Amino acid sequence: MSNDRSARHGHETRSPPAGRSSAEPTVLYVDGDEGRRETETTRLAAALDPVAVRAAESGAALGESLAAADCVVSRYELPDTDGIALSERVRDRAPGLPFVLAVGDGSERLASEATAAGVTDYVPVDGIPSERLVDRVAAALAERRRLSTRDGIENAVEHAADAILLTDIEGTIEYVNPAFEELTGFSRSEAVGRTPRILKSGAQDEGYYQELWATILDGNVWEEEVVNETKSGEEYVAHQTIAPVTDADGELEQFVGIQRDVTRRCLLEEQIERSAETLERLYAEVADETTDLQSKIESLLDIGATHLDYPLGYLTRIDDDTQRIIAAVGDHDAIQPGATDPIERTYCRRTVTSDEPTIVSDAPREGWADDPAFEHFGLRCYVGARIVINGEVFGTLCFGGEEPREELVLEAQQSTVKTLATWLGSELERHRYEARLERQNTQLERFASVASHDLRNPLNVASGHLEMARETGADEHFEAVAENHDRMATIIDDVLTLARQGTFVETTEPVSLQSIATECWEGVETEGAELVVDGETTIQADAGKLRHVFENLFRNALEHGTTADTDHAGEGLTVTVGPTDGGFYVADDGPGIPPADREHVFDHGYSGSDGTGFGLAIVDSIADAHGWSVHVTESRSGGARFEFVVDGTGHADGDSPTAATIEWLRSSLDEL
């Protein structure tokens, strides 16, 4: 018997020989002749030692002795019947019990009748136990032991959990248990009479088979791991043991093959190794603190997808009811940076609600066939873990593919993906902290500049007029002092607004563009100007901070929007607010902003009139705090037009889509 190996772990150990039965075999000798019965019983016992021979004068005298008998030897001539009739009675009471018929005067007719009756052996004798009779009884007892041993083995393995097969010494299958049928797909009738090569373990060289046969024929055990095929062609990994089976005398009778399915164990071992490689490679790639966030994210997705064996890996941002793909690796039309989907048609809707990663090994089989997520993305396997920053769900880290995977594989990967998501959350939090610290430092520098320059000028002017007032007592000097004090108060208010409003957005809500624009317009002295809201949309924003955006833009338009038919600022001016594909705009029909000045209008201290120069800087800072971009251009009527991109796609020319996405990620961290 042989099975082709794919991985040899085998050790060779001596198989202990089968031991003798603790009870002596028993032979029943039936003979109506008392003298002959006693003589031949004694002679048979001596010749067959250590066999116990018991005598009976007739078939009726056998009684309950048959239950303990291993063989019946009977003369043909009996007082109450003949040997052939007795053999039939014995068969009825003890099927399989060997029956040897001894005849004094044999004939072909009698031999034919005996054979037809199913006696084990027919032996002519001359009145004394011949060597031939002894040999036939010994052979019958040996066969009895062999069959008993085989039946015992089969009974023992019939309900075994491992797949077991028995072969003859030539390697032909004689028996397989139900576990073998279940594992391989071959029924008992299909396997018996064939060899283990039906499992297609793969071709081996002649040296392999010579070593295998030499091992088991020498009474040793052969062990290895093999990759077999089931009847349907599906591969499985089996730990296989092949051992010899001997009779009571130590003679080789059969081989037993035991196969334990270790496919799942091998898959688990492989995934553990892959997980370790993933974490080691990730550490080596991104441990350098100088590596930028974009590179770390790309490395994490690439390493995770490669080592965990997925064609796709992606990072998402979950915002209310929307999933946005921030970064991705792999070729999939619906999984690309910047793509958005309602969360109800994504796999991540389950991921964000669970502390443990979500796994899907075969979506259609697990009830996803009619699910919007499967219909849209078509991923049959998926594993995803949520990313949490400061106790709030930021998004998810996911891997998947369009082919099913073993559930055990995904279960083994859960802890690795969770570790990657936790690490990524820490990196995003650190980046958020560093970005906030950098902004705060920049803000402090700006405030210091304001304190040293913007406030110093009116303070110097006020001090000069105060000195003149002391010398002359003229009222105009006191009025100048008061005006400069008012200007300093205005600057201080704007600086405080910039500090409080243009930092970070903690929470957002849906805000009506029409409602907030109208509300802010009513809170500004419009001096005869008109507001037009051209269309309606909803913006996800901090409503309080957004009010400062509109109020400052409206004041800026009114201060600079002198029209051709009046010298009064703002009079006759029309300010228009409306939605765009990616956000909204605020435009006017005033004189506009010269192209050369447009890139500077958001700088602190920039002012085209007597303003503080902080109004548009406040607008820019609040937009930046939301993760938006804002730029100024020319309106249709030639005035100023401020355009806001709120969906993360508005970035400076030359930025790559990936860089733009990561920049949006950087700013969107402020929303937590």
Residue 666 has pLDDT above 50, yes or no: no
Question: How many CA atoms within 13 Å lie on the side-chain side of 607?
Answer: 14
CB 623 within 8 A of CB 607: no
Interatomic CA distance for residues 76 and 330, integer angstroms = 88
pLDDT above 50 (res 2): no
pLDDT tens digits, 179-230: 899 999 999 999 999 988 888 766 566 777 778 778 888 888 888 888 888 9
Mean pLDDT rounded to a whole number for the chain: 79
Q: Which of 43-47, 58-62, 324-328, 624-628 has the highest mean pLDDT?
A: 324-328
pLDDT of residue 308: 83
Domains of the chain: 26-152 (3.40.50.2300), 156-266 (3.30.450.20), 267-434 (3.30.450.40), 502-671 (3.30.565.10)
Query: For residues 292 and 669, what is the distance between their CA atoms, to the nearest angstrom?
Result: 15
User: Can you spell out the DSSP letters for 115-175?
Assistant: HHHT-SEEEE--SS--HHHHHHHHHHHHHHHHHHHHHHHHHHHTT-SSEEEEEETTS-EEE
Residue with tokens 């018991």: 54
Cβ contact 545:625 at 8 Å? yes
pLDDT 10s digits, 604-617: 555 554 544 567 88
Q: Burial level of 354, CB count in 10 A (0-12/13-18/19+)? A: exposed
Alpha-carbon distance of 227 to 230, in angstroms, equals 10
In angstroms, the CA 569 to CA 516 distance is 24
The residue with greater pLDDT, 534 or 270, is 534
- Consecutive H or E run containing 416: helix 407-449
For the chain, counts of helices (H) and of strands (E) = 18, 23
CA neighbor of 257 nearest in space, from 326, 202, 183: 183
pLDDT, tens only, 601-659: 887 555 554 544 567 887 888 888 888 999 999 999 999 999 999 864 333 333 333 34
Alpha-helical runs (H) found in 234-309: 263-286, 293-307
Alpha-carbon distances of 196 from 7, 161, 182, 476, 507, rounded to whole Å: 17, 19, 15, 114, 68
Instruction: State which amino acid sits at residue 606.
Output: Y
Q: Is 474 left (phi over 0), alpha (psi -120 to 50) or beta?
A: beta
Mean per-residue pLDDT, 482-497: 66
Residues 6 or more apart whose Cβ sits within 8 Å of residue 190: 231
Task: Please answer whether residues 257 and 274 qualify as being in contact, where contact means their C-beta atoms are separated by less than 8 angstroms.
Answer: no
Task: Tell me which H or E stretch contains 395.
Answer: strand 392-401
C-alpha 632/C-alpha 222 separation (Å) is 81
Considering only residues 290 and 320, tell me which one the structure prediction assigns the higher pLDDT. Answer: 320
Residue 47 has pLDDT above 70, yes or no: yes
Q: In the structure, what pLDDT confidence band is assigned to residue 60 with cuts at 50, 70 and 90?
A: confident
What's the mean pLDDT in 232-236? 87
Which DSSP state fits 344? G
Please tell me the distance from the alpha carbon of residue 144 to that of residue 41, in angstroms, as a whole number: 20
**Confidence at residue 586, expressed as pLDDT on a 0 to 100 scale:** 96
pLDDT, residue 511, reads 95
The predicted model gives 333-361 an average pLDDT of: 94
Region of poorest pLDDT, from 297-301, 448-452, 456-460: 448-452
Give the pLDDT score at 19.
34
How distant, in Å, are the alpha carbons of 410, 517, 521, 574 from that of 554?
A: 56, 9, 7, 10
pLDDT at 456: 60
Burial of 188 (0-12, 13-18, 19+ CB in 10 A): middle
Q: 473 vs 197, 461, 467, CA distance in Å?
A: 119, 17, 10
Give the per-residue pLDDT at 104: 82
| Residue 551 pLDDT greater than 70, yes or no | yes
- Structure confidence at residue 156 as a pLDDT band (50, 70, 90): low
The confidence band for 276, taking pLDDT boundaries of 50, 70 and 90, is low
- Whether the pLDDT of residue 381 is over 90: the answer is yes
Task: Tell me what pLDDT residue 185 has.
Answer: 92
Q: Which pLDDT belongs to residue 589?
A: 92
The amino acid occupying position 70 is D
Determine the pLDDT at residue 289.
Answer: 62
Highest-confidence range of 45-59, 131-145, 323-337, 525-539, by mean pLDDT? Answer: 323-337
Least confident among 83-92, 510-519, 591-600, 635-644: 591-600
Higher pLDDT pick, 601 / 434:
601
The beta-strand segments (E) located in 177-234 are 222-229
Give the per-residue pLDDT at 240: 87
Query: Nearest Cα to 561, choosing from 585, 588, 528, 594?
Result: 588
d(CA 94, CA 35) in angstroms, rounded, equals: 28
**pLDDT band at 246, cuts 50/70/90?**
confident
Model pLDDT, residue 20: 35
Which segment, 137-141, 395-399, 471-475, 661-665, is predicted with the most confidence on average?
Answer: 395-399
Cis previous bond, 364, omega within 30: no
Instruction: Specify the pLDDT at position 467.
Output: 81
Average pLDDT in the 167-187 region? 90
| 336 or 16: which leads in pLDDT | 336
Q: Which of 451, 332, 462, 448 is nearest to 398 (CA)?
A: 332
What are 121's two structure tokens?
């052996």
Residue 111 pLDDT greater than 90, yes or no: no
What six digits make up the tokens of 547? 């009010």
Mean pLDDT score, 578-600: 89
CA-wise closest residue to 343 among 363, 370, 372, 305: 372
